[in-house]
Amino acid sequence: MVGLLQGSFDVSERRACRVLGFSRTTQRRKSPTRVKDLVLVERLRTLAAERPRFGYRRLYLLLRRDGLKINHKRVYRVYRAEGLAVRQNARRKLALGERQQKPVVSAPNQRWSLDVMADQLASGQRFRVLNVVDDFTRECLVMHASVSITGHDVIRHLADVIRFRGCPVSIITDNGPQCSGKALDLWTHETGIHHLFIRPGTPVENTYIESFNGRVRDECLNVHWFQSLEQARVVLSTWRVDDNQVRPHTSLGGRSPNEFARLIQVG
């Protein structure tokens, strides 16, 4: 309408807007960049809602997978502007001390890391989660929730994985009762698996599984209020599949563990 008035009476945009009672800002065309930002904002909000504990770097990798041609600086700008930043928990300062150097792994099945986590249901009942991770591919091989986990449970789940994946050269664990008992010691001896232990009270020496446990706690256990053990098992199983197949890992060049494992096989 403003353009029609300008053309009919040969008046300026300012005067035409004044006569019609319009703001001049209504006559500004939306730049292509702003339109693209709207697409980015919508997709970024969706991903952030689906994955509330992902920072902008991992969200950027997921956006790239979706085919959006963007750079990380633009994603960061929109991420901050939309208030999507993940609140970071304060990190405890750890005492410095000598750490044991583990041999560097260079292939799948060279070393598996094991650990047991604890959590509780809405009823207050405690339960445990056994996690097993391949240190090279970062694949989660076992994630099992139960009211209690014994050394025999650990053996059973390891044996299940070995049937389709083969034996690891070694496993590394802490000194918890599930891993330091006679049952696992005898089994690893019989199967020829080298059982490594970290020093008591130094979980940071088991780097890969501690990092994995942190993600499980932050992205899964802390954001669900389990009503039953069965629900916990379903949610954990779903999270494990997503972590193996979809979640980009910066340590793997932005690939998921399954993608990285396939790349190694092809190579």
Q: Among 81, 99, 122, which residue terminates a domain? A: 81
Query: In sequence order, which ranges of the chain are alpha helices (DSSP H)?
Result: 2-9, 13-20, 32-50, 56-65, 72-81, 151-165, 177-180, 182-191, 207-219, 229-245, 257-266
Full residue range of the structural domain in which residue 204 is found: 111-266
Q: Among 81, 99, 129, which residue terminates a domain? A: 81
Q: In what order do the strands lie in the sheet with 194-197?
A: 140-146, 126-134, 111-120, 170-173, 194-197
Model pLDDT, residue 75: 80
**Sign of the alpha-carbon torsion through 73, 76, 78, 81:** negative
Pair 240, 141 in one domain? yes
Q: Per the structure block, which two tokens stand in for 23?
A: 């703001």
pLDDT tens for 153-190 read 999 999 999 999 999 999 999 888 888 888 999 999 99
Pair 63, 116 in one domain? no
pLDDT tens for 79-122 read 888 777 765 555 544 333 333 456 789 999 999 999 999 999 99
Pair 128, 260 in one domain? yes
Pair 129, 61 in one domain? no
106 within a domain of the structure (yes/no) = no
With residue 119 as reference, give the H or E element that holds it: strand 111-120
The count of structural domains within the chain is 2
97 within a domain of the structure (yes/no) = no
Pair 15, 119 in one domain? no
Average pLDDT of the segment spanning 134-155:
96
Classify residue 93 by its DSSP letter: P
Find out whether 59 and 48 touch, Cβ atoms under 8 Å: yes
Classify residue 181 by its DSSP letter: S
Q: What is the CATH number of the domain that holds 128?
A: 3.30.420.10
Average pLDDT of the segment spanning 41-53:
79
